[in-house]
Structure 1
């Protein structure tokens, strides 16, 4: 087998065919699908209360409901902004690999993946611009490693990061799509994204498993440990992107930088964070990508 060829099992090929067909069958035009109201009420929840970044800490109890709802608005805008930035980064990586020898067998699905992610980026940005009048800037979820890795490692890390990003986001999407305290517009944005991401996650888990096997056969045990450390740092960095001082400032909280530092250090946030990452962490452990579930502090 050539080093430039992605090994494909019958199971993987069948999955690709099924997911590609489902993308075709489930296709929708997002520019026609959404009916955007002129505004959303400021005195309502824009994000499920148990998802906002102060939940599980004394700060949550110290703010009145009006302040918490204002915080939920700007945390919602931050969440969708993170999606825009994260999708842009993953699109760059996937486009760089489509119709290359290593990923030729997955390229038909990549075309649907790229199209769907581009449309997700559009409707998340549209939400932010319509109802927040901006996107928050963010270097979080930056995809490029800080050091040069072997090709097998780089390919694995790209798709492991994409998978983690999608699974982390899907936790929020699933929760908010089912939350009747949120407006139908917010529920619809999250519901539609979840429906598409379920295909991407199924594909991503299979691909990451394949790439992990190829990486293990090509690099040293020391390099595998370095990869685990890198991925775990990426997970923590991604979680910390939800603690945005610009959000706290826009919500009217005093000392926004201190709020961020307090929340990152708050023991009460660890349980909430673990709920967000439960599924990808379980996958990384079951697949042998992680030796344990400890994360750096």
Structure 2
């Protein structure tokens, strides 16, 4: 158990760290409604995701597609990713709001959580406007998925909340950093990613700090639970990155496309690179349990 003095010291350091992040938010935050030129036309021969991160890149199926078909698949996969981003931000915001009901409303940590909540709400607007601009239908969750989305915030508490936030944010963040300077990427999408990366960097720091401060004082069962349940994230991302909806929309056989994507050596390399930083952090924190490691590897992230 954490002693009173240790608890006080940890809380004080958390407040100081939160204050620094608040100051960073004041200096560098965005309003996507005005900070992105939504009236700018798309360039006709550029991709919506860089080719190298499209799920079937480098497969025989990709090789047989025209450039126009490849661009259209990148458009549909972007819409799929942005749609999932909206639902994840929704889950995180619900969990943060529930958490704040039990906190000191004058604390810097609470104020930063409110700031993050505001950032995520603007990101949801940004993703929604991007889907509308792209001119494709959002990928809506099925009824059972919406039920899960509404239940998850009830389970994201303590260290599990911050680990879940990292799983949801770091993989996307790492992949976006690989895309930012790709010359084949649409400028509007590039701008969206730059805004998201800049603000998510603070969110990731806050979540990592939350994990670091909790891990040394976690009960054995709690640590074992958090260390092994996070591997479910690998199954989620595997499903997300090979969602049959984009394949169907561009006229591909969803089963064949999914199989090629999941067995693609290039795709595995992209996923391993995207997960590398978070995997190292989970290992360092003692939160990469044997079940999680197996699930992340099975999903193609290790």
TM-score normalised to the size of structure 2?
A: 0.84
8 Å CA contact retained: 1:166, 1:197 = yes
2:76 — aligned with what? Answer: 74
The number of aligned residues is 286
Gaps of 5+ in 1: none
1:234 — aligned with what? Answer: 233
8 Å CA contact retained: 1:57, 1:266 = yes
2:208 — aligned with what? Answer: 205
1:247 — aligned with what? Answer: 246
Alpha-carbon RMSD:
2.8
After superposition, the Cα gap between the structure-2 partners of 1:114 and 1:271, relative to the gap in structure 1 and judged at 3 Å, is same
Partners of 2:28 and 2:266 in 1: how far apart?
A: 40
8 Å CA contact retained: 1:177, 1:186 = no
After superposition, the Cα gap between the structure-2 partners of 1:134 and 1:6, relative to the gap in structure 1 and judged at 3 Å, is farther
Residue 242 of structure 2 aligns to a residue whose secondary structure is: coil
2:116 — aligned with what? Answer: 113
Out of 174, 178, 182, which is 1:171 matched to? 174
Matches within 5 A, 1:43-54: 43-54=45-56
TM-score normalised to the size of structure 1?
A: 0.85
Shift of 1:166: 1.0
8 Å CA contact retained: 1:42, 1:70 = no
Matches within 5 A, 1:133-172: 133-138=136-141, 139=145, 142=149, 144=151, 154-172=157-175
Higher helix share: 2
Partners of 2:255 and 2:289 in 1: how far apart?
A: 34
Give runs of ≥4 in structure 1 deviating > 4 Å: 102-105, 140-146, 265-268
8 Å CA contact retained: 2:243, 2:258 = yes
Shift of 1:102: 8.2
8 Å CA contact retained: 1:176, 1:186 = no
Partners of 1:287 and 1:144 in 2: how far apart?
A: 27
Out of 61, 64, 75, which is 2:63 matched to? 61
8 Å CA contact retained: 2:47, 2:185 = yes
After superposition, the Cα gap between the structure-2 partners of 1:163 and 1:143, relative to the gap in structure 1 and judged at 3 Å, is farther
Is 1:25 the counterpart of 2:27? The answer is yes
Shift of 1:267: 4.8
2:273 — aligned with what? Answer: 275
Shift of 1:172: 2.6
Shift of 1:238: 2.1
Residue 96 of structure 1 aligns to a residue whose secondary structure is: helix
